[in-house]
């Protein structure tokens, strides 16, 4: 890739992300940006959204939409302690059902209280019913905070959790065809059209730039990779580089802050157990396409690998970017 001029070094972060967005907008059809760090991914999505509006490919009218953003700084261990949850702010999605507490798979609730001494949290479910339990005894939850995104007709979006009633799997991509109030009509990449109410389903984000984990199973003509060599091993490693480059049919280009350090960064090995978890949680679109009932009762989420971004969060403050 270096010999063919497909590795571009831009040390300044803002300039690099701007050039990535500009590269995408110049040839958006069949293109996908892969960026492992959440903060940079969100920044690239915002830049592309704005540039496409300026180019006329996306409608100029923004619709401010409340979305759920994963609390990526919470590790699996931290989720077992009541003090890790913030009453009034944290929103839980139960990825598996619980007969003991009467919780359905895919049900949401808001944390209303926590008890350090007894290590319990109280959650008000969507039905209005409240449950109190020890988080050690009820695993399989995703933890979110509320944020905002600006969507417009023509935007590419990614589903960040399964939309069960429409049989849309986690990580699927599509394009917004029409917006009327809070109702979105989305043309999925598999040819189907679905409608959703963003007042009820809030696990959405722009779909121009995605993580390497959520890109697994996608095949596109052109891939643009953001490789910041200062990222921790869990974000930039051999597995990420293989997954990212192999998404492309025809062309791949890497934007990096340091060409000299790139080879070493992309040769990092990740822990075997972590790799197995990544492969389990980020299953390919080819498997999702069968739309089996089981695919929509549990969240097969890139949120799980992102929990390992705790070092990134503490070092660079990427966890709660808006």
Residue-level pLDDT, tens digit, the chain, 322 residues: 888 999 999 999 999 999 999 999 999 999 999 998 888 999 999 999 999 999 999 999 999 999 998 886 787 888 999 999 999 999 999 988 999 999 999 899 999 999 999 999 999 999 999 999 999 988 789 999 999 999 999 999 999 989 988 999 988 999 999 999 999 999 999 999 999 999 999 999 999 999 887 787 788 999 999 999 999 888 889 888 888 999 989 999 999 999 999 999 999 987 654 544 444 444 433 343 333 333 333 333 333 343 333 333 333 333 322 2
Structure tokens at 191: 């040819």
Q: Which of 288, 286, 282, 270 is nearest to 34 (CA)?
A: 282
For residue 174, give every residue at least 6 positions away whose Cβ sits within 8 Å of its Cβ, in sequence order, or none.
156, 157, 159, 186, 187, 188, 189, 194, 207
> Which residue's structure tokens are 């892969």?
34
How many other C-beta atoms are found inside a 10 Å radius of the C-beta of residue 274? Answer: 15
Q: Which of 150, 188, 155 is nearest to 171 (CA)?
A: 188
**Alpha-carbon gap, residue 128 to 259, rounded angstroms:** 54
CATH of span 73-145:
2.30.30.30
Q: Where in the chain is the domain with CATH 3.40.50?
A: 7-68+146-316
Q: Where in the chain is the domain with CATH 2.30.30.30?
A: 73-145
**Alpha-carbon gap, residue 125 to 102, rounded angstroms:** 10
**Alpha-carbon gap, residue 28 to 6, rounded angstroms:** 18
Say if residues 21 and 55 touch (Cβ distance below 8 Å). Answer: no
CA distances from 239 to 42, 65, 98, 255, 274 (A): 22, 34, 34, 18, 11
The HSE-up count of residue 289 (CA atoms within 13 Å, CB side) is 10
> How does strand 220-227 pair with strand 31-34?
parallel
Structure tokens at 184: 């979105």
Model pTM score: 0.78
Architecture of domain 7-68+146-316: 3-Layer(aba) Sandwich (3.40)
Say if residues 102 and 241 touch (Cβ distance below 8 Å). Answer: no
**Alpha-carbon gap, residue 266 to 198, rounded angstroms:** 38
């Amino acid at each position: 890739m270096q010999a063919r001029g497909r590795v571009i070094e831009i040390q300044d972060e803002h300039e690099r992300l701007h050039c990535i967005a500009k590269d995408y907008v110049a040839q958006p059809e069949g293109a996908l940006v892969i960026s492992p760090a959440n903060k940079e991914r969100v920044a690239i999505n915002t830049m592309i959204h704005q540039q496409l509006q300026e180019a006329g490919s996306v409608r100029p009218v923004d619709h401010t939409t409340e979305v759920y953003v994963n609390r990526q700084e919470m590790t699996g261990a931290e989720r077992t302690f009541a003090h890790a949850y913030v009453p009034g702010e944290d929103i839980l999605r139960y990825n598996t059902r619980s007969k003991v507490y009467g919780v359905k798979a895919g049900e949401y609730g808001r944390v209303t209280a926590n008890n350090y001494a007894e290590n319990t949290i109280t959650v008000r479910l969507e039905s209005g019913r409240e449950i109190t339990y020890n988080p050690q005894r009820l695993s399989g939850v995703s933890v979110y905070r509320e944020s905002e995104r600006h969507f417009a007709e023509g935007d590419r979006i990614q589903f960040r959790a399964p939309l069960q009633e429409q049989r849309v799997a986690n990580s699927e991509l599509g394009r917004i065809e029409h917006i009327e109030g809070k109702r979105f009509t989305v043309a999925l990449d598999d040819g189907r059209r679905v409608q959703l109410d963003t007042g009820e389903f809030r696990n959405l984000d722009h779909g121009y730039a995605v993580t390497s984990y959520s890109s697994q199973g996608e095949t596109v003509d052109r891939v643009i990779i953001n490789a910041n060599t200062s990222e921790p091993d869990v974000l930039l490693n051999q597995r990420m580089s293989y997954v990212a480059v192999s998404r492309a049919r025809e062309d791949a280009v890497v934007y990096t802050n340091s060409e000299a350090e790139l080879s070493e960064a992309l040769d990092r090995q990740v822990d075997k157990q972590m790799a197995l978890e990544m492969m389990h949680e980020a299953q390919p679109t080819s498997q999702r396409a069968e739309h089996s009932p089981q695919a929509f009762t549990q969240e097969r989420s890139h949120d799980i690998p992102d929990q390992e971004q705790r070092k990134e969060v503490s070092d660079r403050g990427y966890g709660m970017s808006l």
